Structure 1
Amino acid sequence: MTEDKTEFTQVDISQFYDITEEETEQQDDGIILTPNERALYEELMVYVRQKEPERVEILESRIRDLNQLASAIARFPSLLERHDIPGGIRTPQLLIDSLIKHQNSGDTTLQLPSKATLGKGYIVSKIHTFSSLTSLSQRVGAPEKLTQALQLETITMMFTLMAEDVYLNLINDAMQPMEFRREWALALLLLWEHRNDQTIESVAPVLQSVWSARRKLAPAFGTMMGTSELLLMSIQMDEQWIQFIKQKMGEQGVS
């Protein structure tokens, strides 16, 4: 019986897909701007080139810096896959168990994955960038609609940052069922991995409306525990907020 010495040539699987070189580079680097963020940025640049052309290179340089930062973070092991890292085997399930186990151990900074900590810094940098773009939009006389859209994107990023703390607090709440705490831990892993939370886009407009209404209020000191402020704020809100108050304020935790 003769030995089969057939040789095989390794083939890059990407050759079987219709992916351009530019798209491959974007996949390697990670997405730093969503399609909407990119559209707003490009629209603003039209006005910047006309009114303050000296700032074009500064803005483009900042976007390149964000791209490099995102690329570096993307090279860290995925939090949603099994990896053999220097400290041993790491799986999503082990990460979830660790999050629940160490939540009562004081400052958990050193317990968090490196990708989570670096990603938080990246989001802060992105928030600063879009906050600057919002101010620049006002200065160069861009349409108010564009300025408001840039501001909304900035606020949405801030809510994403806040969502991380919300998840950590929920995971830390021993009064909650373990099943829910594990689900929240998985949602947190997804947020850390993609630096995006699917619920933020739906709740961001509501939270922004609440915050905008709250900023217009002057505190009424007394013994009503904020009842007058809540009433005045609710008057400025839409039907969605009113229905929330009607349905949920009877629950002790919500109240």
Structure 2
Amino acid sequence: MATFTEGERRVLANSIEILEELDSPFSEVIKSRTEDLEVLAQIIERAPSPNTDLFNRTEGRNFDSLAKKLSSQGLAHVVNLPAKAVLGHGFIVSKLHLFGMLIKLLATYPELEQCRPMVEQEYTDLLFTLMAEDLYTALLTDQEGGEEWVTKAVHELIMMWDRRTSDYLERFALAIRELWQARHTVVPVLGTLLGTVEIMRLN
């Protein structure tokens, strides 16, 4: 189980150490929020996998059956979302808020300035991961079943749900970050959607 990535743990440890040296009450706040996330991660880890059927039925839920259901019905019609999916989404939001608090503390404690690049990177990775999940969810809620990309999006979404407390999301966030960085190096192609988007960004 991985509640935090190595980068996240390093940022938290450095920030707490500095805050403790400054005798700041926020050191205890950060430690408390960190411990809460550890507990939540354990609950998520114990939650049933969306890929398995608790009753061990031969025709019960598995990865393929869940993917087929999501592809054909979308998320808007799936009343019984896996608990792991719901808890995991809240887990990422909670982590985002924790690192958001650290960003706010940067303005209050100049001594934390050395942590800024790492804090902002971890916050951005969490934000991109959350945005990707929300994008998959939105696409599947309003989609025309049968498209090849729908199947791929469903499989990626289920993987995110099932491996929330593993190093999978760390690798996923890294891929999203690299994609975003590459996006900023693309030359506008006027007369196309890509060119239009770039011009809108300049405005």
Q: Same-fold call, TM > 0.5?
A: yes
Q: C-alpha displacement at 1:203, in angstroms?
A: 3.2
Bigger fraction of residues in helix: 2
Q: Is the 8 A contact 1:79 1:193 kept in 2?
A: yes
Q: What's the TM-score once normalised by structure 1's chain length? A: 0.63
Q: C-alpha displacement at 1:142, in angstroms?
A: 3.0
Q: Which has the larger radius of gyration?
A: 1
- 2:61 aligned partner, one-letter code: R
Could you list the runs of 5+ residues in structure 1 that have no partner in the other structure?
1-29, 211-236
Aligned to 1:114: 83
- If asked which structure has higher relative contact order (CA below 8 Å, sep 6+), I would say 2
**Residue deviations 1:190-243 (CA, integer Å, cap 9, x gap):** 111223274432333664898xxxxxxxxxxxxxxxxxxxxxxxxxx5xx232x
| RMSD of aligned alpha carbons | 3.3
**Residue deviations 1:34-74 (CA, integer Å, cap 9, x gap):** 00111111111221012234332222111111111111111
Q: Is the 8 A contact 2:125 2:173 kept in 1?
A: yes
Count of residues in Structure 1 that have an aligned counterpart in Structure 2: 191
* Residue among 106, 123, 129 paired with 1:160: 129
Q: What's the TM-score once normalised by structure 2's chain length? A: 0.78
Matches within 5 A, 1:1-255: 30-80=1-51, 82-85=52-55, 89-103=60-74, 107-108=76-77, 110-142=79-111, 144-171=113-140, 172-174=142-144, 178-195=147-164, 196=169, 198-204=171-177, 207=180, 237=184, 240-242=185-187, 245-246=188-189, 249=192
Q: Is the 8 A contact 2:19 2:26 kept in 1?
A: yes
Change in CA separation of 1:249 and 1:52 when aligned onto 2, cut-off 3 Å: farther
- 2:189 aligned partner, one-letter code: K
Question: Segments of 4+ in structure 1 off by > 6 A?
Answer: none
Q: Is the 8 A contact 1:191 1:197 kept in 2?
A: no
